Every structure is written in C-alpha cells, then in structure tokens.
Amino acid sequence: MIRLEQFENGFEYLELENELCKAKIALQGAHLFSFDPKSQKPIIWLSEKSHFKLGSAIRGGIPICWPWFGDHSDDSTLPKHGFARTSLFDYEILKDEKALSQIKFVLKSSKSSLTLWPYAFELNVIFTLCDTLHIELNTKNCDEKSFSITQGFHTYFKVSNVQKTSILGIENKTYLDFLVKKDFVQDRPLVIDKEVDRIYKAISNDIEIVDGETQINIKTRGSNSTVIWNPWIEKSKTMSDMSIDSYKNMLCIESANVLDDFKVIKPDESCSLSVTIS
C-alpha cells in the first residue's frame, strides 16, 4: 500500500507499508524520513524538532545532497548541500507488492535550478523497500557540455547510545578531520565521544554499526568516500531543529562522492550512487 499524505500545512509525503516494512518519503527532496523494518527496531533517526515546510531542509532521515556536498566550492551564498533537498520531485510507483515497494522520484532542470547551477540534467532517485532499504541516485547529463558533481546520502541512523556504539569497516583508513583540517589514520573501530566531522577516503568495503545486539550493515556502490558526523554537545545547542541531547541517539554515516572522489559526467552520460542498508 502506497498513498499520498500531507501535514496540516500542506507538506506532502508518500506513506507506504508492506509485509516487511513501513516508510515515509517527502516529495520535497525525495527525502525518506522514516523507515521501520517490521522485524527490527527503527534504524533511521528523525529530530522531534524537524521542520516540515517547503524550502526548509528536514533534520534527520536521509537528505540527498546534490549537485554539491557541503558548501559550494566557489559561492558560499548558494544553498549548503545543493538544491535537490529543498526541490519538489515528481514520482512514479514502480512496484506496490505484498513484500516489496519501489518508487522513483524525478527532478529535472528548470529555470530556477539554472540560476543556481547552469546545467541541464535529470536526477532519478529510486527507493526499493522490503526488510532492507536500497536507494539509487542516478544523474543524467542532458546538457551540451560536461559537468562535475559531488553528492551524498546524508543518512541519520538511530542508536541507543552513541558512546556505546561501534563503527566497523574504517580501520586503517585515512580520513580528513574537518574540525582541524588535517589527515589521520583510523587505527581501531570508532566510538564517538566528542564532536566528529570526518571524511574517510578509499572506502570500498561495507561499514557496520554495532549498537548492543543490533547490527546495521551499510553497502555503498559508486563511491569511495564516507562521511561520519555527530555534532556533540555544544554544536547541538546552536541548532534550532535539534534537541540539546539529540546527539546521544543519532549518528550520521554518509555514502558520498566528495573531495577527489567527485564525478565528471559527459553529455548524454549518467552516473550512479547507491546504498543498501540492512
């Protein structure tokens, strides 16, 4: 079952349920903000203070960062993480079966997008939902010239206690610590006990979150970089759409193309980034 719903302010989203999971995906940003496998605890975190209104990004779920990740490289006045996450997508239901749901969201270049990014494109986001969550982000260059992109799934995971949660699969990997702008090597599984904002490089293997008896597997394709973020105490206090102690129960592990892992797409060609969460 898939149906179109809306909040009192008219903000629209798709609500779906099959035998294996329930989920909610906003039309703005093709932004999944709830995914509950019926055989497990909820694994996606959403801030209780999230704004569900047009033009405002949702805090939590899986924001799609595109066609740039973070601040724009040349113009800091442009929207952080690009414009896709606050754009309205069209959608098409591909499958609505007992144990599997599949929906495609589509965003095409327009007069407004061309004022922010001067290229013709088509962006497809395909969600496949059962007891696992699979998302594919496909960018097609519809322009007459090549363009480059950085991008990512800014996934917020729900954990019982971030200080007792381990992140595996990043051992012996080099990372850029954005807080001090220096490279380091991860010598052990990561347990977060302070503010973290890191880009791990040359990541092609799966990453695992171990939260007590719960294990979450993250399998990424089309990316060699992974971002790990937690705002911790002081930064959380400055964020109007997060509670002061929200950092305790959330963890961002982001499948991304950033830094030297950017993608160049030629006219009439496409590139794909995907993640499977189980």
Q: Span 26-50, mean pLDDT? A: 94
Q: Are 273 and 68 in contact (CB under 8 A)?
A: no
Element (H, E) at 113: helix 111-116
pLDDT band at residue 53 under the 50/70/90 scheme: very high
User: Average pLDDT in the 245-255 region?
Assistant: 96
Q: Is the pLDDT of residue 254 over 90?
A: yes
Total domains in the fold of the chain = 1
User: What is the domain-level CATH number for residue 129?
Assistant: 2.70.98.10
Q: Can you give the residue range of the structural domain that contains 121? A: 2-277
Residue 116 has pLDDT above 90, yes or no: yes
**Residue (of 162, 151, 203) closest to 29 by Cα position:** 151
Average pLDDT over residues 235-263: 94
Q: Strand pairing of 101-108 and 250-257?
A: unpaired
Distances (CA, A) of 45 to 33, 139, 155, 209: 8, 27, 9, 14
**Coil, strand or helix at 85:** helix
Banded model confidence at residue 95, pLDDT cuts 50, 70, 90? very high
Residue 76: its pLDDT value, please? 83
Confidence bin at 136 (pLDDT 50/70/90): very high
CB 257 within 8 A of CB 202: no
pLDDT on residue 276: 98
Question: Rounded CA gap, 251 and 137, in Å?
Answer: 22
Q: Write down the pTM of the prediction.
A: 0.96
What rounded mean pLDDT belongs to the chain?
Answer: 96
Calpha distance 160→165 (Å, rounded):
8
Q: Dihedrals φ, ψ of 273, to 5°?
A: -125, 130
Q: What's the pLDDT score for residue 201?
A: 96
* Tokens standing for residue 161: 């206690």
pLDDT for res 39: 83
Q: Is the pLDDT score of 226 beyond 90?
A: yes
What pLDDT is recorded for position 190?
97
pLDDT on residue 54: 94
DSSP per position, 235-248:
HHHT-TTS-TTGGG
Q: What pLDDT is attached to residue 41?
A: 86
Q: Tell me the per-residue pLDDT of 160-178, one tens digit each, with 9 for 90 and over.
A: 999 999 999 999 999 999 9
| Kind plus residue range of the DSSP H or E element containing 185 | strand 182-185
| Residue 78 backbone phi and psi in degrees, to 5 | -75, 160
Predicted pLDDT of residue 51: 86
pLDDT reported for residue 202:
93
Question: Which pLDDT score, from 0 to 100, does residue 113 have?
Answer: 96
Name the pLDDT band for 40 (thresholds 50, 70, 90).
Answer: confident
Residue-level pLDDT at 73:
82
| pLDDT score, position 228 | 98
Taking residue 110's Cβ as centre, other Cβ atoms within 10 Å add up to 10
Q: Tell me: the pLDDT tens digits for 188-213?
A: 999 999 999 999 999 989 999 999 88
56-85 pLDDT, tens digit per residue, is: 999 999 999 999 999 888 888 899 999 999
Helix (H) or strand (E) holding 99, with range, is none
3-state class (DSSP) for residue 260: helix
- Minimal CA–CA distance to 165: which of 120, 218, 214? 214
